[in-house]
Structure 1
Amino acid sequence: MVKAYEKLDQDSKLAIKTLGELKKSGYEARSIKDELRENLIQSIKDQVNVFEGILGYDDTVIPDVERAILSKHNINLLGLRGQAKTRMARLMVNLLDEYVPVVEGSELNDDPLRPLSSFAHQLIEEKGDGTPVSWLHRDERFTEKLATPDVSIADLIGDVDPIKAAALKLPYSDERVIHYGLVPRSHRCIFVINELPDLQPRIQVALFNILQEGDIQIRGFKLRLPLEIQFVFTANPEDYTNRGSIVTPLKDRLGSQIITHYPKSIHTGLKITEQEAKSANLEHVQVNEIAKLLIEQIAVEARTSEYVDVNSGVSARLTISSYENLVSSIERRLLRNNEKEGSVRITDFIGVIPSITGKIELVYEGEQEGPGIVAHNLIGKAIRTLFTDYFEDPDEVRKSREKVDPYKKIAEWFGEENVIDVLNDYSEKNYRKELDKVPGLGDLVKKQIKGLKDESLRYFLMEFVLFALVEYSYLSKHTLDNGMRIDDLIGSMFSGFEEDEENI
């Protein structure tokens, strides 16, 4: 752009209504790839984060995307589901100029100084500098298409429109009878195709001529249309084997293939969940940091579970939905007990199971276990993993001959045929009363967690200890219709044997 045009404020630019006025302003046409590149350079210099809200990609994906834009490449974002691929593509709109001039009435977003369509050429020939100019906002310069097997050439490229031919009394050999598809209509825009391998190979073939040569073919028409489009494709590696693949000539014409990934740390995952969860800010519901980390750890456990198909991936949407359901579990309990505010409990995690079962793909062994059992196991493993960050490792205590087992007193109390029931809808009073039955449990928490003053957190940790001791085979738990029962491991085993004998 020339400096004279750059100096105009936005209102002065929008006041330009004709081609002649646009020329006088000093406007110069530039391609969308130049536009993205120059605006990115300015953003980097100004230290502006274009990809606001994308967490965990600062040192990996975002630099790769910036390099691709600087190189004027079309991009393929390759990664498992829930890795913000489409969101990255949508945020690239921030690198476009806020408004660009177009020939008014043009269906191909024609640049007044570089017209593309026959409509724009004819209009400029007729009206010259009086050609009307309108302004296109950057939000209108983004097109997104989900690739499905039923997508046709007509959808993407275009087709002959017999109704238009009849209305205009034109033969089918006239270019004006063509109804353009999504790709030509995305001239000077960012065009995103999600799940590219699902697109039929013959449709992919139609795309790579546009990428390389800039021409399109529609039912015998060969049109030289130097389309200026920033293509961004997204693909899931699983699709390459299960449903389709990217044809080699198309892949060869994509300048950069960028690999996305899941959050590399549990704390990054937590930030994403807190940012995206719709119910994260209910004032009367308190969710402590450990409970939030448990949600993230469930996803971590799922991504390494023998029951879950790791090739399918575990979306970040699992933790977001789980967090929302966890908050709703607390809210529902408060409503049932007519309590104005409350804090999270381990038993509230029963509410996240529907968010887990719908977000994971199970292998054969997982299907045999059942999605509900797998979800329970993932929650249990998350509790086991995080427990040692706050309390002594029960396995290490057992191995050591010198250490006094801090969990022995609790286990012995349950060994005397004592049980506690932690019901989903217990009032705060009944909940605390039930946990206080276990001798030494509160003292253990106070001893292990120094300076603990929050009573709600103390009772959460007491419950946390009991559920962790189940995972470390000190205790046993049983699912009740409306909660959980914690009892002795050995007694539970013998009880099971007796039930089996009666059945025999």
Structure 2
Amino acid sequence: MHYTDIAPAQLLKIKTLGQLNAAGYEPRSVKEELRANLIKKLSSGEDVFPGIYGYEETVIPDLQRAILSRHHINLLGLRGQAKTRIARLMVDLLDEYVPVVAGSELNDDPMQPLSRYALDQIAHHGDETPVGWLPRAERYTEKLATPDVSVADLIGDADPIKAATLKLPYSDERVIHFGLIPRAHRGIFVINELPDLQARIQVSLFNILQEGDIQIRGFKIRLPLDIQFVFTANPEDYTNRGSIVTPLKDRIDSQIITHYPKSLEVGKRITKQEARITDAQKDRVLGHELIHDLVEQIAFEARESEYVDAKSGVSARLTISAYESVISAAERRVLLNGEAKTHVRITDFLAAVPSVTGKVELVYEGEQEGAGGVAYRLMGKAIRTQFVHYFPDPDKFKKQKDKDPYKKVTEWFSDGHTLDILNDASDADYKRELNQVPGLSEVVNKFQPTPKKEAEHLFWMEFCLHGLAEYSLISRNRLTAGLQFKDLLSSMFSGGGFSLSEEDEDDEDEDRF
């Protein structure tokens, strides 16, 4: 029986090198360990990378092939594409525990010791050498590449304090203070944003990747380290003309390209999993699937927008933060109005602008438009895109006015009426405002006839108004405390949507988006 077949409780009772030998322990490299455990999981049909969605037919198969090939891996992709999360999940492919020489700072294998400490321990104690057990969680090391990272940080250096304390000459290898990489021996070492490392630091990785050993200063030591390297990088930097040293790039065995969700459903699944919504928020705010669609659509619109820098990407964190803000906006309204519950609204969706502005990198045209203006445009486009999935396309009725289902609604606004939807309006005020628009409820009944609750019916009514505004049938203007809908023509003549006089700004702070 191999030692890995022994139950963890019994395994931890092994305390000496002699007992470890008797248990049938055979050393194997970390790459062989990852490979063997991956084979077990694949053979049993187990999900190898749980919680990673949208990569089932692209990234994950490539990653599994790289692990089976015992390759060092580079995950190449834009921000927010789960690169670091994938690397962290690789820990689950390690054995639950591995034996180490007790007290060793390099996690020395008792059968294949590297450090002077471990060699001395085994030479002195023999089969009675104390053995400890290292859990898989402690075999993962992660380092964010920054310009201030030094060779000493990663590899190691002579430590004058250690030399003085132990009264050793600098020629003695025991004065070495090992860096992060040697301490990750027999584990997984991740370097995030590899191109951000200075060129001389990248050069220091050559030997480790190719021969698996390190050299520190002038010491005549060779440490054949056993490490699974995983790197992450951005495509913009990871080029021969960019910030990557080409020989280092050549030494990384597998380069795996990550990507953003290719469908709305995958994006929604990720957002629902990652959004931090408390049970209290779930009790206070009744959500709606359309809100998930709208939030996710923002990211899809941003990735296609002429205002957003495509090279920087649009992280999945945008949709996660935006959805959290939507729920919090509704929760705040409940708390202010002293109500027990509320249904999420489209105004809550539009209140998530601060979660969008910091998540997109703008090109010159976007900077001229302003971060807030770009965010509103993206949200408006999301509403426009989703609107035709639930209601008829208004453009189809431009030449068929008699068949226009929105005619009664738009005529009411044409007669000079306005409708204010305030951010913090109570449910009663919200209902009263929407119900004063003739024909609006009938449109919802005709095209979305299945709402189970009145609040959901009102939600569709508000969404219909926003959709009509996006198709320029009515005007939607921003107020200090909410939104105002009115006739498009009167809005243009009154200055809505254009530069306002100081008098108007002081009076209403209104601008159309």
TM-score by length of structure 2 reads 0.94
Q: Is 2:179 the counterpart of 1:181?
A: yes
Specify which of 238, 248, 251 is matched with residue 249 of structure 2: 251
Q: Residues 99-498 of structure 1: matches in 2 within 5 Å? A: 99-240=97-238, 244-279=242-277, 281=279, 282-398=282-398, 401=400, 404-496=403-495
**CA pair 500-96 structure 1, distance change in 2 beyond 3 A:** closer
Report if the CA contact (8 A) 1:274-1:280 is conserved. Answer: no
Report if the CA contact (8 A) 2:186-2:225 is conserved. Answer: yes
Q: Which runs of 5+ in 2 are unaligned?
A: 503-513
Structure 1 residue 198, shift from structure 2 partner: 0.2
- Please tell me the residue identity of whatever aligns with 1:488: D
2:93 aligns with 95
- Please tell me the residue identity of whatever aligns with 1:451: T
Structure 1 residue 242, shift from structure 2 partner: 13
Q: Distance in 1 between matches of 2:4 and 2:210?
A: 32
Specify which of 55, 58, 67 is matched with residue 56 of structure 2: 58
- Please tell me the residue identity of whatever aligns with 1:475: I
- Please tell me the residue identity of whatever aligns with 2:409: I
Aligned-partner SS, 2:15 = coil
- Please tell me the residue identity of whatever aligns with 1:162: P
Structure 1 residue 500, shift from structure 2 partner: 8.3
- Please tell me the residue identity of whatever aligns with 2:162: K
Q: Residues 59-98 of structure 1: matches in 2 within 5 Å? A: 59-98=57-96
Q: Residues 409-459 of structure 1: CA distance to partner in whole angstroms, max 9, x if unpaired?
A: 211110111100000011111101101111100000101123333321111
Structure 1 residue 494, shift from structure 2 partner: 1.6
Structure 1 residue 56, shift from structure 2 partner: 1.1
Structure 1 residue 402, shift from structure 2 partner: 8.8
**CA pair 183-70 structure 1, distance change in 2 beyond 3 A:** same
Report if the CA contact (8 A) 2:284-2:334 is conserved. Answer: no
Structure 1 residue 47, shift from structure 2 partner: 1.3
Structure 1 residue 330, shift from structure 2 partner: 0.5
- Please tell me the residue identity of whatever aligns with 2:64: E
**CA pair 6-155 structure 1, distance change in 2 beyond 3 A:** closer
Identical aligned pairs, as a percentage?
A: 64
**CA pair 221-403 structure 1, distance change in 2 beyond 3 A:** farther
Q: Which runs of 5+ in 1 are unaligned?
A: none
Structure 1 residue 4, shift from structure 2 partner: 3.8
Q: Distance in 2 between matches of 1:118 and 1:131?
A: 14
Aligned-partner SS, 2:171 = coil
Equivalent residue pairs, number: 501
Q: Residues 37-48 of structure 1: matches in 2 within 5 Å? A: 37-48=35-46
**CA pair 111-502 structure 1, distance change in 2 beyond 3 A:** closer
Q: Distance in 2 between matches of 1:335 and 1:162?
A: 60
Of 328-337 and 235-244, deviating more is 235-244
Structure 1 residue 11, shift from structure 2 partner: 1.5
Aligned-partner SS, 2:214 = strand
Q: Residues 216-263 of structure 1: CA distance to partner in whole angstroms, max 9, x if unpaired?
A: 222222431110000000011233479952211111111110001111
**CA pair 499-230 structure 1, distance change in 2 beyond 3 A:** closer
Structure 1 residue 169, shift from structure 2 partner: 2.0
Q: Residues 44-99 of structure 1: CA distance to partner in whole angstroms, max 9, x if unpaired?
A: 11111121111111111111111100000000000010000000000000000000
1:49 aligns with 47
Structure 1 residue 404, shift from structure 2 partner: 0.7
Structure 1 residue 337, shift from structure 2 partner: 0.8
Report if the CA contact (8 A) 1:197-1:243 is conserved. Answer: no
Q: Distance in 1 between matches of 2:355 and 2:500?
A: 38
Q: Residues 169-212 of structure 1: CA distance to partner in whole angstroms, max 9, x if unpaired?
A: 22211111111100001000100000000001111111021110
Report if the CA contact (8 A) 1:266-1:293 is conserved. Answer: yes
- Please tell me the residue identity of whatever aligns with 1:322: A
Q: Distance in 2 between matches of 1:48 and 1:498?
A: 55
Q: Distance in 2 between matches of 1:326 and 1:192?
A: 35
Q: Residues 338-369 of structure 1: CA distance to partner in whole angstroms, max 9, x if unpaired?
A: 11001011111232111001111111111111
Aligned-partner SS, 2:380 = helix
- Please tell me the residue identity of whatever aligns with 1:23: N
Report if the CA contact (8 A) 1:93-1:190 is conserved. Answer: yes
Moved over 6 A (4+): 497-503
- Please tell me the residue identity of whatever aligns with 1:76: N
2:13 aligns with 15
Aligned-partner SS, 2:352 = helix
Structure 1 residue 124, shift from structure 2 partner: 0.5
Q: Distance in 2 between matches of 1:186 and 1:119?
A: 16
Of 270-279 and 241-250, deviating more is 241-250
Q: Residues 359-407 of structure 1: CA distance to partner in whole angstroms, max 9, x if unpaired?
A: 11111111111111111111110000000000101122325x4971111
Q: Residues 131-165 of structure 1: CA distance to partner in whole angstroms, max 9, x if unpaired?
A: 00000000000000000010000000000011111
- Please tell me the residue identity of whatever aligns with 2:42: I
- Please tell me the residue identity of whatever aligns with 1:391: F
Q: Distance in 2 between matches of 1:108 and 1:470?
A: 65
- Please tell me the residue identity of whatever aligns with 2:453: D
Q: Residues 294-328 of structure 1: CA distance to partner in whole angstroms, max 9, x if unpaired?
A: 00001111111111111101110111111111111
Structure 1 residue 114, shift from structure 2 partner: 0.6
Aligned-partner SS, 1:283 = helix
**CA pair 290-109 structure 1, distance change in 2 beyond 3 A:** same
Q: Distance in 1 between matches of 2:274 and 2:53?
A: 11
Q: Distance in 1 between matches of 2:240 and 2:371?
A: 22
Aligned-partner SS, 2:75 = strand
